[in-house]
Amino acid sequence: MIRVLNISHINQLAERLGASVFDVWHAMVRQLTNVLLVFRVLLGFQWLSKPAVVQVVVKQIYFSGIMNLMWVVILAMSVGALMVYSLVTFARQVGDMSWVSVMIHSLLIQEVAPFIVVLLLLTRSGVAIVTEIGSMHVRGEHMTLQSVGASIEEFLFLPRLIAFALSGLILTLVFASVSVWVGGVIVSLSKLMPLSEYLFQLNQYGGLATLFVVLIKSTVYPMVTCIILLDQGSRVGIDPNQLPVRTTTGVYSSLVAVFFLEVTWIVAGLFV
């Protein structure tokens, strides 16, 4: 009896595991299809000649970028002050001030800045994306759009993807600049390190390599989260009860995807 129960339990587990693998596979195929369709529209450049699409792009950039700016600056000031102060204190204890430059570039600018910006985009604009696209599906508005010949990819997906990528890039650059400068001012005011030395140390490391990493992470991470959120919004269907479910799933999946990309980036860095 115990043996039979064990086998049925194992079978159930295997079924669940198999179903999960299929779910993940289907989700990846759907999202890849979305990416291909959106990039086809993006690279066709016809959207630039359509004022309605350009208007949606501008509105989305305003919503995701400009309206997030204040929060990014506030967070950058706090994080910059705390991190730079801690790093300089640590470097003084170790007795090697070159650590300051290495840590600021490799930790604050390359890791923390893109990650916090993507978190902000995800929690504010990302949730709005899922609920907006989901509500449109509940009301059947995706069908209204299709019935008048408007492409979902062009009218709904592309503007949000462009807004996420551009906002991600600009907000990350703002975050990095503000946090580094505020950190410098704080350590010089607290007499831990003169500002001139801080700036000198900062120039010892990084350069184009840091810029390249920031450029990639600050555009790719938001784009990946946006694709996942758009997919979740589209899956709401006609059931309004799916709105909170899809929103939560979208946010969790995006976080997992960002962590996965971060790990991939680190692992790839070990081999390059």
Binding site for other proteins (CB under 8 A): 37, 46, 49-53, 135-136, 139-141, 143-151, 154-155
Tell me whether residue 142 or residue 217 sits nearer to other proteins (CB atom): 142
- Min CB(141)–other proteins separation in Å: 5
CA pair distance 228, 211, nearest whole angstrom: 26
- Min CB(34)–other proteins separation in Å: 10
Tell me whether residue 14 or residue 52 sits nearer to other proteins (CB atom): 52
Residue 213: which H helix or E strand, with range? helix 208-234
At residue 208, what are phi and psi to the nearest 5 degrees? Answer: -65, -35
Tell me whether residue 120 or residue 236 sits nearer to other proteins (CB atom): 236
For residues 234 and 133, is the Cβ–Cβ distance under 8 A?
A: yes
Residue 173: CB atoms within 10 A of its CB come to: 17
Of 100, 80, 251, nearest in space to 180 by CA: 80
Tell me whether residue 16 or residue 139 sits nearer to other proteins (CB atom): 139
- Min CB(71)–other proteins separation in Å: 24
- Min CB(131)–other proteins separation in Å: 12
CA pair distance 142, 158, nearest whole angstrom: 15
